[in-house]
């Protein structure tokens, strides 16, 4: 039975059906529990009779009204379509947590847990966004599916000696001359490799780099050493304001890492420059809020991972230890 009496005299309504989200609630009287059961089932049935759109239909609507405005919108849409296909494109309103958990088991055969969490968040966002836009009028049916708890990995960055060794290797043996300059700017500003690599001449001015095509969609400017700035201008020569400053050189950087015998964590390559800038910024006494602005993080939580490297943090760990 869906409704049963508990030892304390209260009444519990527990609806556990495959065709609708599971729910469990406690009431003071049997009448209230039965009324809730009737209303809940009736509303879900009406909802299903009303909205027979498939998950792919919702994904297309999500992309038209929101995803198309994102810098990675097409890639996210493709990921969503792939997940819908694996689940055989169910009726969106009838998607159950069990189906999503089966999808998780399938996906984890080829992707990392962190990537799955991103996939899950993306799938949830389709329902949440469309409900906010009043395109669907029912609750997110997979809200109860939690992301996987992940083991936090040790923060990785290059030492000053490793940075010098890497830059020397690029300069002496690299065939792509832009690689050294891009790496220098990433180490000096904490910028993402792609932000520098795709930079246009107009983004360089008054010894500052202004990044406009950013992940957070917000422009930011970062100063650089004037002497280095003038040397950079000599390197790039005369160019139109909309001309790219550098050619693609991430592969050349990867080769230089290998020649330098520097071991990086799995999945990391050019981003090590950004991590290294941030780590040394904090170790040298930099302010965490300033770092957030330099990196362009929309959420301070992203920046706080570097706070543990601050001198006062390390000093307190020694000062207040019991022995």
Catalytically annotated residues: 192, 215, 271, 274, 297, 306
Q: Please list, residue by residue across 174-204, b when 16 or more beta carbons sit within 10 angstroms of its beta carbon and e when fewer do.
A: bebebbbbbbbbbbbbbbbbbbbbebbbebb
Do 65 and 40 touch, CB atoms closer than 8 A? Answer: no
Q: Which of 109, 136, 158 is nearest to 268 (CA)?
A: 158
Do 10 and 27 touch, CB atoms closer than 8 A? Answer: yes
- Please give the Cα distance from 217 to 302 (Å, whole number): 16
First to last CA, the chain: 60
Cross-strand partners of 15 = 23
Dihedral of CA 176/180/182/187: which sign? positive
β-pair type (204-205, 208-211):
antiparallel
How far is the CA of 66 from the CAs of 2, 72, 84, 133, 274, in angstroms?
A: 40, 11, 18, 10, 29
Neighbouring CB atoms inside 10 A of 123's CB total 23
């Amino acid at each position: 039975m869906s409704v049963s009496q508990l030892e304390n005299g209260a009444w519990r309504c527990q609806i556990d059906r495959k065709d609708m989200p599971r729910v469990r609630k406690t009431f003071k009287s049997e009448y209230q529990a039965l009324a809730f059961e009737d209303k809940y089932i009736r509303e879900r049935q009406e909802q299903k009779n009303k909205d027979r759109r498939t998950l792919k239909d919702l994904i297309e609507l999500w992309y038209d009204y929101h995803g198309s405005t994102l810098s990675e919108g097409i890639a996210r849409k493709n990921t969503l379509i792939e997940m819908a296909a694996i689940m055989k494109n169910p009726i969106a309103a009838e998607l159950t947590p069990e189906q999503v958990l089966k999808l998780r088991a399938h996906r984890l055969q080829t992707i990392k847990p962190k990537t799955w969490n991103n996939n899950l968040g993306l799938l949830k966002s389709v329902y949440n966004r469309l409900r906010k836009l009043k395109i669907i009028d029912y609750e997110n049916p997979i809200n109860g599916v939690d992301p996987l708890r992940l083991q936090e990995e040790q923060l990785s960055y290059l030492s000053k000696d490793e940075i010098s060794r890497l830059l020397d290797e690029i300069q002496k043996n690299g065939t792509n001359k832009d690689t050294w300059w891009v790496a220098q700017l990433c180490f000096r500003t904490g910028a993402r490799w792609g932000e520098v690599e795709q930079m246009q001449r107009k983004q360089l001015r008054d010894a500052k780099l202004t990044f406009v095509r950013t992940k957070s969609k917000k422009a930011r400017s970062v100063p650089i050493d004037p002497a280095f700035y003038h040397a950079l201008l000599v390197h790039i020569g005369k160019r139109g304001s909309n001309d790219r400053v550098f050619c693609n050189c991430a592969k050349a950087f990867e080769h230089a890492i290998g020649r330098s015998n520097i071991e990086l964590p799995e999945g990391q390559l050019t981003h090590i420059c950004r991590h290294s800038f941030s780590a040394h910024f904090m170790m040298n006494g930099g302010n965490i809020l300033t770092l957030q602005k330099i990196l362009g993080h929309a959420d301070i939580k992203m920046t706080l991972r570097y706070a543990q490297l601050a001198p006062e943090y390390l000093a307190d760990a020694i000062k207040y230890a019991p022995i």
